Structure 1
Amino acid sequence: MSVVEKTVELPDISGPAVDAAYDVSGRRMATCVPSSSGSIVQVYECASGPDSWSQVAAWETDLQVNQLTWAHPEYGRVLAGGTTSGSLLVWGQVPEVQPGGGAVPGAGGGIEDANGGGGGAYYQPLADLSCGTAPCRALCFAPRQSGLLLAALLDDGHVVVHVADEVLAPRAWSLHSKIRAGPRDHCGGLCWRPFSPGVPPMLCVGSGPHVLVWQYVLAMHSWQIVARIETGNGQHVSTLHWATPLGRPVELLAVGSGRDLLIYSLSGDTSALKVEQLEALEHDDAVWKVEWDLWGNQVAAATEGQEVHVYKPNLVGEWVELAWVRGREPEEQ
């Protein structure tokens, strides 16, 4: 196992980040931080090495943004944010330059208002989707092959799915579906199953100490539960992520529950999945984020102790720790 102790600081970040989201390339990142009147959203891009992050856009909104997620770049640079008031905000990058062809104002990282698009008007508001009044707990776009679908898990226990009417101009959205996942204040963690030809869309939701897997039945235009997983440790699910299938005989699901990283295999017909727990990896602090790599070979777990643990199965199927990344707290001014 290797231990890495290195922190790359972003000096121009506007405050303590509430959430951060990378796009599929891993070279574009968005953060949201509180402001006196709402939130500031900042977009960073990595030019070359891992240390060369620079702010390319920033804007302020009068709502408290607590969740961020990027759409697949096939649909352009589209960023969505969930808020504490229950609405979903969608922003998009505008490719054209400002009138007159001059330099775009604020391109050096200045903050614009929400209507100005921010970061030199490169990003502008596209939609404000109302989901109710409960805060957003998790937010994610569907795989690109399913279209421009945005799912949000709300604190009242509902999953709300919106679909863009026109994917290349996502200003108008329609309510696709609404699922009751569990009681208020008990749900955490939301992810889509990665796309496979012939497999209908599937959603995975944490509901207290359970994981629920839903499948969309096109003939009925509704979602149905195809698996219910008991974590076994009595702790509520906080995060989960579905690994890319890539032709495996079983599929892998990582779940963060309390201090445990739980790894499950799913197999069989998608209408009635068979579930088996492969591993339970305990940490010193609560797990708040889990994510597989692009190929589904390694899984990382980030904990509240500012550590990231990376695991991979060995030749006999035992999950071993490959790396341990430790961050450091910022120095007090």
Structure 2
Amino acid sequence: METTKVNELGPGPDSWTQVAAWENARQVTHLAWAHPEYGRLLAGGTSAGTVLVWAQTPELQPGGAAEGAEDGNGAGSSGNGSGGYYDALAELPCGSSPCRALCFAPRQTGLVLAALLEDGSVALYEAEEPLTPRAWNLHSKIKAGPSGVCRGMCWRPFSPGVPPMLCMGAGPRALVWQYVLALNSWQVVARVDTANSQDVAAVHWAPPLGRPAELLALGAGRDLLVYGLSGDTAALEAEHLASLVHDDTVWKVEWDLWGNQVAAATDGQQVHVYKPDLVGSWVKVVWVQGQAPE
């Protein structure tokens, strides 16, 4: 049995408290939170190609009839601390290979969840009732690339009038897909080849915020690669802006809320943060050494 745990941060920087823990029959490989306006909604991609969905359920009290109840997936409602009880709402069948990336769409798009699998396929599910997301419909499927090389996935942050876009790694390139409502399908609108020819492991799209070119960060090999995307959204042009090299493989990249700084986490238990200077060169502003795993 696999255990999923939820921790909350207290007033101090190190005051983490476990507020919930429950067991699952499936091995959970990736986790993703929905936007807070949908409540505390958590999704977990599994090694069996399914996605489990849980939600915090305050009415589940210690000693109550619902406590410890399990569904067919072996995922029960459990927790400790104040309001830390989570209920298994759904299991979404995405495919037969392990989940490699998982992310919710921007809240303005609705409660939509995308799962990237080992075989290179992406399944998108939409909740019928966002406030009570027990029933989900398969919205669409994408074949992102060949089996075994697709890693990393993110949504383009919402902008009024711009169709939904997904970016995902497909070997030594990242593909940007746009949903075309008239065709009811997803179309590739940009292909971003990595400057170092390494396979993409992580992607993240910076908030647009009126920039002439949008910013996309890729983690590929030991490099954090920064690209600018410009032009018509139906045929974006990519420009390589920076290659930031590290001693260890980059496995996670992420922009801040304004897209002014980008961070890269490496296998060396380090996080490096960069920002552009006045002439557009990317400089390291801070780095943090994490604790080695026990």
TM-score where L is the length of structure 2? 0.94
8 Å Cα contact 1:212/1:225 also seen in 2: yes
Distance apart, 1:96 and its partner CA: 1.9
Contact 2:195 2:225 in 1 (8 A): no
Match of 1:326 among 279, 289, 292: 289
Give the % identical residues: 65
Q: What amino acid is aligned across from residue 179 of structure 2 in structure 1?
A: Y
Give structure 2 stretches of 5+ with no counterpart.
none
Deviates more, 1:87-96 or 1:119-128: 119-128
- Return the match for 1:217 from 163, 172, 180: 180
The alpha carbon displacement at 1:328 in A equals: 2.3
Alignment check: 8 A CA contact 2:272 2:288 kept: yes
**Which residue number corresponds to residue 268 of structure 1?**
231
Is contact 2:180-2:187 (8 Å) kept? yes
Checking the alignment, whether the CA contact within 8 Å between 2:10 and 2:16 is kept in structure 1 is yes
Aligned counterparts of 1:165 and 1:329: Cα–Cα separation in 2? 43
Q: Report the equivalent of 2:208.
A: 245
1:42 and 2:2 correspond: no
State how far apart, in whole Å, the 2-side matches of 1:276 and 1:270 are: 15
**Is 1:208 aligned to 2:171, yes or no?**
yes
Question: Which of 83, 87, 95 pairs up with 1:124?
Answer: 87
Instruction: Give the AA of the match of 2:124.
Output: V
In 2, are the aligned partners of 1:111 and 1:119 still within 8 Å (CA)?
no
Q: 2:46 aligns with which of 59, 63, 83?
A: 83
Q: Does 1:179 align with 2:130?
A: no
* 1:199-218 CA-partner distances (Å, limit 9, x unpaired): 01000010000110000011
- Deviating above 4 A after TM superposition, structure 1's stretches of 4 or more consecutive aligned residues are 110-115
Q: Secondary structure at the match of 1:59?
A: strand
Normalised to the residue count of structure 1, the TM-score between the two structures is 0.83
> 1:125: how far off?
0.3
Question: After superposition, what is the alpha-carbon deviation per residue over 1:127-169, rounded to whole angstroms, capped at 9, x for unaligned?
Answer: 0000111000000000000000000100000011000011000
Q: CA deviation at 1:111?
A: 8.4
Distance 1:91 1:279, change over 3 A: same
Please give the per-residue CA displacement for 1:23-46, whole angstroms capped at 9, x wherever unaligned. Answer: xxxxxxxxxxxxxx2x11000111
Partner residue of 2:245 out of 279, 282, 289: 282
Deviations 1:3-60 (A, max 9, x none): xxxxxxxxxxxxxxxxxxxxxxxxxxxxxxxxxx2x1100011121211110111101
Match of 2:15 among 22, 34, 52: 52
Unaligned runs of 5+ in 1: 1-36, 99-103
After the TM superposition, which of the residue ranges 117-126 and 282-291 deviates more from structure 2?
117-126
| RMSD of aligned Cα (Å) | 1.6
Considering Cα pairs closer than 8 Å and 6+ residues apart, tell me whether 1 or 2 has the greater RCO.
1
Q: How many pairs does the alignment contain?
A: 286
CA contact (8 A) 1:58 1:111 kept: no
